Amino acid sequence: MAGRFLVSSFLAANLASISASAVPITKRNPYTFVLNNPYGDAIFELGDISYLANTKHPKAILSATCEPSKSTSAIPVTVIKTNVSSISKATLESAIGSYLDGDDVFNTDFLEGLYVSSSVKAKLDASAIEYLASFNTSLVFLDKTVSAKGKFSTISVKNSAELPAGPFLATIGSNSVSLASVYRLYPDTYRTFLFGAYDTNDGEDNHSPLGVFLPKFWDPMIPVPSRIYYWGDERPLAGERVAIKDLYDVKGLQTSGGSQAWAHITPTSNGTAPSVQQILDLGGVVIGKQKLAQFASGANPWEWQDEHYPFNPRGDGWLTCSASSSGGGCSIAAYDWLDYAIGSDTGSSMRRPAAVSGTYGQRPSQGMISLERVLPLGGATDTAGVFSRDPYKWIKFAKAWYSPSLHQDVTVTGLSPLVVPDTDAFPKTILYPVDYLPLNNSAAEPILQEFIDNLARIFNMTVKEFNFTATVQNWTDPVASNFTRLSAATSVINTWSAWDVIGRKLLSTWATLFDGRFPPIDPARRPGWKAFNESVTNQAAYVKAQATKNIGVEWYERELQYSTPESCSESVMLYDIGTGGKPSFRERELNESPDASYLAVLPKTAKITGANICPIFGCADFTIPIGQVPYFSNVTFHEEMVPVTINMVVKRGCDFVLYNMIEKLADEGVLKAVKTGRTAF
């Protein structure tokens, strides 16, 4: 922990810059205990807001003396750290004001107790005492350095711990005080999570599921810690709240892959996926596990049986979240209290959920990050991505997360080693594939054309229309030019890993447990696993498919998207993985209308969907929100907006150059942060 909490100096700097805006003094809501959750932690309420306090493994236990002795169960307290010698009303008020401005967990209900410390010998002056009285603060904890006298009990803290500032729940013992971290509980109103989770703080790196549900609205509750705990923590993702697709292992939590049958036969994870550990090491906070199409399949909303399909906040609220990282994309479009959601992309599963929710999401270059302890679909086609609303925050996360130390070995990808330069060697050409564009909704194409004009202007690029299908088919290599062969190889890769790691074990274990029965799984997997034939699809076929894929990738990087001395990827190719500006619905029949669209439609003159280009050719493919268009909803019978996004594709390894390009587009105002809720802009 050393060096993580530089709170006092940071806060002091912060306080200096904040003009003490008056904090309104409203009647404090009393502490109301609700229950202990199954993991021994306390759920409580202050007014109509619910909280979790990690009382089983508190943040700090301090030896302390209480005068006069006070026996209470638990008290919400606020920790304030200063470095001034005279602590006045202004000192306290500006700290509290900055807490209210910068955090959604803290509120003045936590002023029943105050823990104040100072880096220098200090005293609470008369104005501070009077100020505390206005909140009816009943208990003041004083560090060795601080003294105070007033109409409150005081607790002298003997060993002041490395305690971050912010709200805590204090429990007072005879000679000690324990301070538990608090989490605000938000209802997952769009039902994008399977369950909320939090750091157990047991010294063994476990997380605990929250296990709390709001019956009135059927919502799981999601715990988010105070952001104040992380102020002054210099790590790139300090305090950022991150939700995890339930394919990734997190120690202490069940990994289900969206299947109750799989959860039934597998133990709680006893380790954390390196890709998730990297987020924790960077300071990120895991707040729960999210829904996915079962085993990362491409199932349509109406094909979900085991889990209830999540809701998309955009438009009429009845739009698809796509698959398979559906929970992730829709949650980022829904909640300001959530910063990032981690998904995975094998065939479209980051990029299409980002498209239908109007958020940023990527399929990185093949091999970008370890997928150890992540349930596979296809070992050599799986990738990991992150959803975000804000281009700068998205890029910051991606650049920190995709560390070279986590690149996959060439034995996993079957490709040449991945090299990821972080330069401004931008592309010179904008490739506009006429077999994939224009956008299907003619009202959306002008938004794309304006984006292309901006791109061409800002980077001095030339637009080149070309036919992707004809170009690939024109290559002289019989393998690289044959979409049928390339697609078949991808299909072997995507089938074998999932069977080898999940399917075989699930079927045999279930049969043993339940008298030969087949497990209850969604139709996306049932027929394929029922008929799985290991003499056709096996490790040897997988290795052969990897070799086929490698041939395709090498041709692609020589003939279509290649490096030059000036550019990491000579071109950026555009296409749309979404619906071209038409709504696509969770309810099947609504997609039959000409003003709506199914997902994953193969364009009339193409051989593969745009989504399949990078799974086959290893390239990097990012979904970028660029606008929105109206439609008249047959659900709300009101005009609604549907997001318009575009996909930007560069040669494998040129991800960071593309991030730098996107950052420049944000600097120029071409790309913007999207809002949560009904509309993205």
Ligand X SMILES: *[C@@H]1O[C@H](CO)[C@@H](O)[C@H](O)[C@H]1NC(C)=O
Interface ranges with ligand X (CB under 6 A): 9, 12-13, 25, 27-28, 83-84, 120, 135-136, 267, 270, 434-435, 440, 460, 462, 467, 469-471, 473-474, 478, 482, 484-485, 533, 535-536, 580, 583, 593-597, 601, 603, 605, 631-632, 634
Rounded distance, CA 657 to CA 426, Å?
6
Amino acid at position 159, single letter? N
**Given the complex with ligand X, which of 9 and 36 has the nearer CB atom?**
9
DSSP code string of 612-659? GHHHHH--EEEEEEEEEEEEE-TTTSSEEEEEEEEEEEE-TT-HHHHH
Rounded distance, CA 605 to CA 397, Å?
38
Tokens of 294: 């079962």
Phi, psi torsion values for 299, nearest 5 degrees: -60, 140
Provide the minimum distance between the beta carbon of 455 and ligand X in the complex, in angstroms, as a whole number: 13
**Given the complex with ligand X, which of 28 and 652 has the nearer CB atom?**
28
Q: In what order do the strands lie in the sheet with 86-87?
A: 86-87, 122-124, 146-147
**Given the complex with ligand X, which of 135 and 340 has the nearer CB atom?**
135
DSSP code string of 176-214? EEEEEEEEEEEE-TT--EEEEEEE--SSS--EEE---EE
DSSP, collapsed to helix, strand or coil, labels residue 399 as helix
**Given the complex with ligand X, which of 215 and 267 has the nearer CB atom?**
267
**Given the complex with ligand X, which of 174 and 533 has the nearer CB atom?**
533
Q: What DSSP designation does 585 have?
A: B
Phi, psi torsion values for 408, nearest 5 degrees: -80, 150
Provide the minimum distance between the beta carbon of 270 and ligand X in the complex, in angstroms, as a whole number: 4
Q: How far is CA 60 from CA 30, 147, 177, 218, 677, in A?
A: 23, 21, 8, 35, 38
Strand partners, 640: 631
**Given the complex with ligand X, which of 61 and 434 has the nearer CB atom?**
434
Provide the minimum distance between the beta carbon of 187 and ligand X in the complex, in angstroms, as a whole number: 27
Provide the minimum distance between the beta carbon of 530 and ligand X in the complex, in angstroms, as a whole number: 11
Provide the minimum distance between the beta carbon of 418 and ligand X in the complex, in angstroms, as a whole number: 28
Provide the minimum distance between the beta carbon of 323 and ligand X in the complex, in angstroms, as a whole number: 17
**Given the complex with ligand X, which of 25 and 543 has the nearer CB atom?**
25
Provide the minimum distance between the beta carbon of 581 and ligand X in the complex, in angstroms, as a whole number: 10
Provide the minimum distance between the beta carbon of 319 and ligand X in the complex, in angstroms, as a whole number: 11
**Given the complex with ligand X, which of 223 and 578 has the nearer CB atom?**
578
Provide the minimum distance between the beta carbon of 501 and ligand X in the complex, in angstroms, as a whole number: 12
Q: What DSSP designation does 502 have?
A: I
- 3-class DSSP string for 535-568: CCCCHHHHHHHHHHHHHHHHHHHHHCCCCCCCCC
DSSP, collapsed to helix, strand or coil, labels residue 359 as coil
**Given the complex with ligand X, which of 171 and 269 has the nearer CB atom?**
269
